[in-house]
Amino acid sequence: MTVPPLVSLTARRIGASLITLFFVSLAVFGIAQLMEGDVAEAILGQSATPEALAGLRAAMHLDQPAWARYLDWAGGVLVGDPGRSLITGLPVWEMIAARLGNSLTLAGLTALVSVPLALLLGIVAAVKRGTAFDRAISIATIGVVSVPEFLIATLAVMLFAVTLRWLPALSSTRDVHSMWDLLRVFALPVFSLACFVMAQMVRMTRAAVIDALDTSYAEAARLKGCSPARVVLRHALPNAVGPIANAIALSLSTLLGGVIVVEIIFNYPGVARLMVDAVATRDLPLVQTVAIIFCIAYLLLVTTADVVAILANPRLRHR
């Protein structure tokens, strides 16, 4: 097996990603400048008199020109130190690190639950396409995403935490001491998130598997006497990996930044809320750094999906 094409391709992708990141940092910084208000106004709130504002701004070095602040921040990010939060004065990285861990845990567990389930549902729907079962899965997945996630999450809490008292209403990683705790603490948020991310994966899996099942080699496999399960798992699936991986990557990329409702309802300290807080208080070093982290996560997932697609395709793997 020759590796070089893969390596060079991956390297090229990483290079492109770095350039993208640079532009993202510019764009995020630019947008942040366009936002009305600044951190001094946010701190003072109702009591923001002009002289109080001017004093606080000077104390926080906000009176420097924008490009100087950008260079300061971007330079810091490059050497791994994105500076200090304007609000708390803590190192930005310290504030993010703890919450990023939490978010990754939640996202990871959700992926662990939703990806296999979505694959299963998508595959079964593809195999039984056109049947009542297929339609039921399609209606159910659309129905579930179409219910606002705060409603799903709240209903789940009311049922499992308030009425049945099986699970906690809040998810605090601090209270996790055993595997059992972990299951209990994460059951509801993971459930709510899974409802949200599964639809896209189920639909894409179904479509990709159907495509693969329509090919001559799938027909040939049937004519060899393969059982339907074997046709799907051994013949169709490996060829559908590319689009499926792409859909999974896109769905999962929403898990870090797009889960604000779930973090709020379960009082889960993750990066999404950190981001919203930071935007609300115009804590720009924090906002920008979190945005860059989201972007890195996104690029990482998408690139991984591309590489997986290449690995799954011997035509690309062996040139």
Placement of tokens 């703890």 in the chain: 98
Q: Which residue of 18, 58, 120, 233 would you call a contact of other proteins, by CB under 8 A?
A: 58
Determine, following the binding rule CB under 8 A, whether residue 63 of this chain makes contact with other proteins.
Answer: no
Residue 144's nearest CA partner among 171, 183, 166, 114 is 114
92-121 residues in contact with other proteins (CB under 8 A) are 95, 98-99
Determine, following the binding rule CB under 8 A, whether residue 283 of this chain makes contact with other proteins.
Answer: yes
Neighbours of 84 (CB within 10 A): 18
234-273 residues in contact with other proteins (CB under 8 A) are 234-235, 238-239, 243, 246, 250, 257, 264-267, 269, 273
Tokens of residue 68, six digits: 């100087």
Determine, following the binding rule CB under 8 A, whether residue 11 of this chain makes contact with other proteins.
Answer: no
Determine, following the binding rule CB under 8 A, whether residue 80 of this chain makes contact with other proteins.
Answer: no
3-state SS, residue 51? helix
Least distance CB 210 / other proteins (angstroms): 6
Q: Which stretch binds other proteins (CB under 8 A): 36-44, 66-74, 106-114, 116-124?
A: 36-44
Q: Which residue of 6, 9, 44, 310 would you call a contact of other proteins, by CB under 8 A?
A: 44
Determine, following the binding rule CB under 8 A, whether residue 20 of this chain makes contact with other proteins.
Answer: yes
Q: Which residue of 7, 11, 14, 16 would you call a contact of other proteins, by CB under 8 A?
A: 16
- On whether the CB atoms of residues 21 and 299 are closer than 8 A, the answer is yes
Q: Which stretch binds other proteins (CB under 8 A): 7-15, 21-29, 70-78, 113-121?
A: 21-29
Which amino acid belongs to residue 295? C
- β-partners of residue 91 are 84
DSSP state of 215: S
Determine, following the binding rule CB under 8 A, whether residue 79 of this chain makes contact with other proteins.
Answer: no
Determine, following the binding rule CB under 8 A, whether residue 226 of this chain makes contact with other proteins.
Answer: yes
Which amino acid belongs to residue 68? A
119-158 residues in contact with other proteins (CB under 8 A) are 129-130, 135, 138-139, 142-143, 145-151, 154-155, 157-158
- How far is the C-alpha of 300 from the C-alpha of 292, rounded, in Å? 12
Chain centroid to CA 70:
26
- How far is the C-alpha of 48 from the C-alpha of 54, rounded, in Å? 10
Placement of tokens 């999962």 in the chain: 252
Residue count, binding to other proteins (CB under 8 A): 126
Tokens of residue 27, six digits: 């764009």
157-196 residues in contact with other proteins (CB under 8 A) are 157-158, 161-162, 165, 167-170, 175, 177, 181, 184-185
Q: Which stretch binds other proteins (CB under 8 A): 34-42, 62-70, 72-80, 109-117?
A: 34-42
Determine, following the binding rule CB under 8 A, whether residue 24 of this chain makes contact with other proteins.
Answer: yes
- How far is the C-alpha of 315 from the C-alpha of 86, rounded, in Å? 52
Neighbours of 124 (CB within 10 A): 19
Residues in the chain, overall count: 319
- On whether the CB atoms of residues 111 and 131 are closer than 8 A, the answer is no
Least distance CB 108 / other proteins (angstroms): 20
